[in-house]
Structure 1
């Protein structure tokens, strides 16, 4: 009982509300029992070994007609294929892409929550941080909810392409780690910087936009 009281308190309530609202969104919209395939979809789960090969030998794509130098950043799909391969051990084939898409939506909102918190702590004095701690958490909740429910986000996830939804996910985390790294350069922040940038590179599938 004391563990429940420790988790559900005034400070943690906004973060719990975010998880509850996201869970409802995912429950209502998850395409149970259906393959979520459509507009420009990347679906490495159908042939993981082939997609690993395309990512490692990315310059030449033999699936383009008789073979061609690709205009897309297939090398950037290596982190994506790694994530999908892990999910394939846990999930049925039809659910892998929807889970990845909702994971991107969740992590994007969570990233905006923590980025807003970090930003507010950086621009306010210490005495105000203590005084308005709960208010700050609700501001973080508001920005996170606006981020995952804006019309631009709805449009992006209604017809999802991995490069765009990963960009949505990565943006707040990239700002978050850059501010942390500038504020304090230590081993943890350096490792986080490289890990976040590695997985953010999935957005580079469309080089003209994100590279």
Structure 2
């Protein structure tokens, strides 16, 4: 069994990755979160891109624990806001992780934007760092549009106002399995699967 550290304290992200691994029939991996290891200094997210932030988090986690580490950085890119909040998505309102405040701020900023110009994308960069080995970064994007009011109770972050292309429901109205099959994080994590398979093969 290969232990893989997922560099997050977000239980929803851990659950998503567990579901993706189960669906891919990739066995032999035990997922650990940051709550499962001794605390270590975590550098602030100062990268200009999702890729830079994801790689920095994975490197920190791998160096501190000696474990292979996966980290992701994700957020919402709103067309009418020139791609913002982007890497600042989790702290757009000034308070990190305040989903309600971040969502309200985005809705306020695009209040006067007509429906046909409310395009947006969820973007996820995922990095895998193996101590003394390879570093891999992949990116997934999920296009859609933003609605004017929250709908749904699943998911987290901006999910209640994001309607994926080809859907009438928001991301927060999708079942977890439906979201996994289409989402930015699902796309990115599936792109990592061949590298995770190599990891388990090397451990045999």
Instruction: Sort the TM-score into its range (normalised by shorter chain).
Output: under 0.3
Higher relative contact order (CA 8 A, sep 6+): 1
Q: TM-score, normalised by structure 1?
A: 0.24
TM-score when normalising by structure 2: 0.25
The structure richer in strand per residue is 2
- Structure number having the greater helix percentage: 1
